[in-house]
Amino acid sequence: MKKKQTKRLTGGAPVAPRTIALGAATGLLLTLGSGAALADTQIADINGTKLSIFGIIDVGFLYQGNTDSGGSKTSMETSGLRQTVLGFKAERELDQGLKAFFNLESHFDTNNGQLHGTGDAEGASVPQWRRQANLGLSGDWGSVTLGRQYGPALLAHIGTEPRAFKEQFSNLYAWAYNQYAATAGGPGTERNTNNDVGIFFSNAIQYRNNFGPVSLGVLWALGGKPDSTNDNSAFAIGAAYTGPVTVSGSYQVIKDEATGHNNVTHWGLGFAVPFGPFTFKANYLNAENDLRTGQNVSDVGALGVGVDWKWNARNTATLAYYHNKDRKNRDDETKNVVLSNDFAWRPDTTLYVQAAYVDAGDAATIKTSIVAAGVPAVGERTTLVNVGLNFTF
């Protein structure tokens, strides 16, 4: 039986997939420019500069019925529902209708207090502000943000991904690991130093705006290489229409630092349809990984379908099915059923229970997994149960 796939970060020892992963985003749990997001608290107003603090603390227990060693495992799990973060943001009026803003957002693990790992190719040290470190301007024309920031492609699909890219048991991992493996090698291999798991981008400029019911974001991460605007760069676009139904689309490319070839080509489509207390969702993601020479090594299709049921004022249940498969490596496949319930004690405090049944192929890798720790048991079937508490401020 094959062991779980791991990756080596530049300058460090091999690390398990969870160490380098993610912490993605949620619709209202993001700080996008001056538009705000989390239920942040203003802590100062200094000469018209409004400074706020925000955060999420999330921790729980994870039971896994079958591991590669054949036994079960119980562990404390950080960030089961949403990522654990601490951040600061500010905005100030410059002129009528024009504001300046900044965002600083760190990512850490609740179970041990350590900064969360990074998916950057230059990963010898973990960034203090892994998620955001940016400055920008906003007005009626939209916003422009400079620095490390969320890419617009993943953000577009939050309303259509069956579990809204939750930190455990969702296609957040098919997204991230398909964009990590082909870009985080050492010097002289497939590498892009501006990409962190296809979610966070360094040296980036992004324009965002809403055009009626359509939200749009376009990002370019500058490569910083001599005599080339192509090498080491990344481009992403994401759009979502929110009306009687929700429709999302995205396209993203991440280029090799030496050859400028598209190491990652990623696109997605999704929709969500509300019907009374139910919301039906479907989302398809496709990721192609190429060597810097142009040879294609994987082509992963990740399909997720599901339904949310708000069965009373405090409870939302979700049933989802994920089928992820690499067309280039037929045994790299997982089939997954997820059942969960979120109980909102109050809008900022949630008790969650979520269970996944995973059927992993004989050569399953992290590229087709929906589990934060990677493939639970290669070539086996297993059940995982995660219970935790999420606290936001």
Average pLDDT along the chain: 89
Q: Which of 72-76, 138-142, 335-339 is predicted least confidently?
A: 72-76
Q: Would you state the pLDDT for residue 22?
A: 46
* Total domains in the fold of the chain: 1
Q: Are 258 and 275 in contact (CB under 8 A)?
A: no
β-strand partners of 309: 278, 317
Does 1 map to a domain? no
Whole-number percent of the chain with pLDDT over 90: 79
Does 299 map to a domain? yes
Alpha carbons 347 and 391: distance in angstroms, whole number:
9
- pLDDT exceeds 90 at position 163: yes
Does 2 map to a domain? no
pLDDT tier for residue 374 given thresholds of 50, 70 and 90: confident
- pLDDT exceeds 60 at position 23: no
Does 118 map to a domain? yes
- pLDDT exceeds 70 at position 25: no
- pLDDT exceeds 90 at position 16: no
Does 280 map to a domain? yes
Domain that holds residue 251: 7-392
Does 261 map to a domain? yes
Does 45 map to a domain? yes
Alpha carbons 278 and 308: distance in angstroms, whole number:
5
- pLDDT exceeds 60 at position 27: no
Give me the CATH number covering residue 256.
2.40.160.10
Mean pLDDT for the stretch of residues 210-226: 97
SS (H, E, C) the chain: CCCCCCEECCCCCEECHHHHCCCCCCCCCCCCHHHCCCCCEEEEEECCEEEEEEEEEEEEEEEECCCCCCCCEEEEEECCCCCCEEEEEEEEEEECCEEEEEEEEEEECCCCCCECCCCCCCCCCCCCCCCEEEEEEEECCEEEEEEEEECHHHHHCCCCCCCCCCCCCCCHHHHHHHHHCCCECCCCCCECCCEECCCEEEEEEEEEEEECCEEEEEEEECCCECCECCCCCEEEEEEEEECCCEEEEEEEEEECCCCCCEEEEEEEEEEEEEECCEEEEEEEEEEEEECCCCCEEEEEEEEEEEEEECCCCCEEEEEEEEEEEECCCCCCEEEEEEEEEEEEEECCEEEEEEEEEEEECCCCCHHHCCCCCCCCCCCCEEEEEEEEEEEEC
Does 296 map to a domain? yes
Which tokens belong to 295? 């040879």
